[in-house]
Amino acid sequence: MTQMTVDVEDLLALPVFIAGNLAQLDLYAADLGLIDLGAPFHTVSAGGYTTELSLGLVVALAALGWVLYTNDVGFSGWSAMQSWLIITVVWLTISPPFVPFMGALLGMEVAATAAIAVQSIGYIALLYIG
């Protein structure tokens, strides 16, 4: 893997990342035969809040993990920009089920579309930097 270029194997994970996030935020009904990426597979309730974990979340995190794995840079080699991008993309990806405010905000179609755009730009930047 080379830095400041986009590798093909990383680029192939981009549609997987976007599809997982679209399904998680209910912007796209990603029904793959018997598997629905947006359907919750685990629900946790505590303190009046309900958290639903979907396969779309797992798929998006797996695609993000793939890019981090193929960047060939150890944790000590991450620049401040890479660290910020990772934190931002991971926060937008995992926060809706766990943070009620983010879940409510991203429940609006305009905010969810903006979040998908920010996540995708961050993901592509991670591809390019790595």
Tell me the percentage of the chain whose pLDDT exceeds 70: 89
Rounded CA separation 125/108 (Å)? 26
What pLDDT shows up at residue 62?
Answer: 92
In-domain check, residue 38: yes
Mean pLDDT of 104-117: 85
In-domain check, residue 3: no
> Any residues with CB less than 8 A from the CB of 99 and at least 6 apart, and which?
none
pLDDT above 70 (res 100): yes
In-domain check, residue 86: yes
- Strand, helix or coil for residue 38: coil
Task: Look at residues 122, 52, 39 and name the one whose alpha carbon lies nearest to residue 84.
Answer: 122
Instruction: Give per-residue pLDDT as tens, 51-97.
Output: 778 888 889 889 988 888 887 666 666 777 777 788 888 887 777 76
- Which amino acid type is present at position 50? T
pLDDT above 80 (res 39): yes
Q: Which residues pair with 53 in a beta bridge?
A: 42
Q: 101 is in which domain, residue-wise?
A: 8-129
DSSP H/E element including 32:
strand 31-32
In-domain check, residue 2: no
- Tally of domains in the chain: 1
Rounded CA separation 83/123 (Å)? 12
Q: Whole-prediction pTM value?
A: 0.78
